[in-house]
Structure 1
């Protein structure tokens, strides 16, 4: 099948639709939606999120040296979108969204009680990449709602994370289960 060249674009599928939790200089909890992020190291466990310098959360991460990654469920897609289009300078996003800010005991950042999955990160590296700055956070804890666990592990089908497609600017949910990783490929050996 012939490929169509799209040129250099900030595109891969899927990208996350994360709510990044921070405290501003006055200690007010804030959220912003971020799609540029992912796992970057297994040992120590680290995750990245990349933000532009003018973003309100940028200064908060630089000052507090911490952030949380909150994975909202599909039912909260409008709230996730709202947190990406309104600045924390002008709104209390926790209040508008009806979210509860929980003070992390491990990092200087809040997390969202209502999100089924939260990752608490201590900032360990900052890399200016151009238009964005990449923040590398060491994961100190992952919290998952008990109702979203299956056989002692997080259940993606129960969490129902939101994913983002940068090119068409739409949010999507997960598709069907395709099979067990590191297993279904064995039939090709």
Structure 2
């Protein structure tokens, strides 16, 4: 049984959804209900995935761990296909996620006014450029891996849901809209959202 420390709507949702996609048992713990979460993760972020005495504190590491634990074909054991799968996971985790992080930082730290609006618009434009890259990679495929959702598809879909939190325009291409809609329609995603709501600390 895995334990996943999460925050509702945060990137930890992707870890939870992927565990469900892979049929792996997982228990959710809202980090806000943990008395001293810094003992689990000194930097205070989620996801944190615990499997026995193994603790993974980065989303990409957690995804790769789950895929390997399930011996999933979505992460081949070797060769160019494995490289491509890891590259897509890292693009989501290390490129797209930090770009949204800048938006969250600006929204929280800057006082309202023209300077904030300009900074937010510039950050949103940078995110839109990344989504254009994803749109090109998808092409006519529903998912980055073809007909089945990959870990990167799930991660990117969680990030795309954050767009509604910002008063700026972030452009998603038609292929990206198709992919995110398909991921969000999957039973694993719907069940993941429902369980987060049920487990959330008020």
Q: Please confirm whether the aligned pair reaches a TM-score higher than 0.5, indicating the same fold.
A: no
- Per residue, is there more helix in 1 or in 2? 2
TM-score w.r.t. the length of structure 2 is 0.25
- Relative to its length, the structure with more strand (as a share) is 1
